[in-house]
Amino acid sequence: MVNIEKFINTRKQLKISQMALCVDICTQATLSKFEKHQQVPAFDIMIALCERLGLTLNDVFPSNIKTHQTSNERILTLATQALFYQNIDKFENLMKQVATDKIIDAERPIYQITQYFSAVILKKDCIKGKKIIKKIDIAGLNKQHQLLFYAITVHYYYQQGLLKEAHQAFEDVWRYQKESTAIDFSGFQSAIVYLLAQYQMSIKNYKYAMMLATYGIDLANTSDSTYFLENFFWLLVQASDTWHSQDFIVKEMIENARVIAKIHKNADVLKQINQRKGER
């Protein structure tokens, strides 16, 4: 059972209006629907709203969230959200707070995968990535964790010059992803599709990259989340440079990417947008 009343009462006690609570998180309409028991926002939005009110997800979803959530579990949830927003400073600060000597088996996969993502995708450090691979029990991962692991590994192979292996891993991940019918609110599907699209950009297969970016935007709309949304718009902008797209469409995509990147504090995309403006 969702404890919406606790959410509403806390907001009112803190004298925070719906409009103020929504700033940089979601639309007021999304919050209004939630408070009227009409629709539960996406997971990342709920985390941000609760965090702003000083609540935990357990306060609002007591029957769905484990009562005795460990400190590491809370930190890893927030760290994963920060990583998927590419708020790197926040991600790294949170990961420093993880008590590695107290990680339980259920927490280890997400700790290792986020570290793997950071090493290969953000830092392009294949040496560290290789060390992390050796520690991961791939067979013991759930399906989403496995797909994200292999999506990261596409880039690991590519950076190592193992192009045949990279392409095969891409095909395998994309095949399984296309077969998925579940609506994902955790951000894992968006992360997987973003990595696949970025790989196609890396090998200059621009049409395929655009198709995957469009697929990613559709995923975001379906799940009502914004994970990697600025990246998908920015990939479309970059791909559009390879063919003659109408200027007003490109400007709209740039603005979409800029606004969402600013909300997420995604410094990398904001830097690329500013560099593009400086070059033109």
pLDDT tens digits, one per residue of 248-263: 888 999 999 999 999 8
Domain ranges within the chain, ordered by starting residue: 4-60, 71-279
- Give 56-77 pLDDT, tens digit per residue: 777 787 654 444 567 888 899 8
How many CB atoms sit inside 10 A of residue 219's CB?
24
- Give 5-61 pLDDT, tens digit per residue: 889 999 998 899 999 998 888 888 889 988 888 887 877 788 888 888 988 777 787
What is the total residue count of the chain?
280
How many CB atoms sit inside 10 A of residue 54's CB?
9
Instruction: From 231, 193, 191, 188, select the one nearest 212 (Cα to Cα).
Output: 193
If one looks up domain 71-279 in CATH, what number appears?
Answer: 1.25.40.10
244 falls in which pLDDT band (50, 70, 90)? low
- Give 102-160 pLDDT, tens digit per residue: 999 888 999 999 999 999 999 999 999 999 999 999 988 888 899 999 999 999 999 99
What are the distances in angstroms from CA 202 to CA 19, 49, 107, 151?
41, 36, 32, 14
The fold of the 4-60 domain, in CATH, is: 434 Repressor (Amino-terminal Domain) (1.10.260)
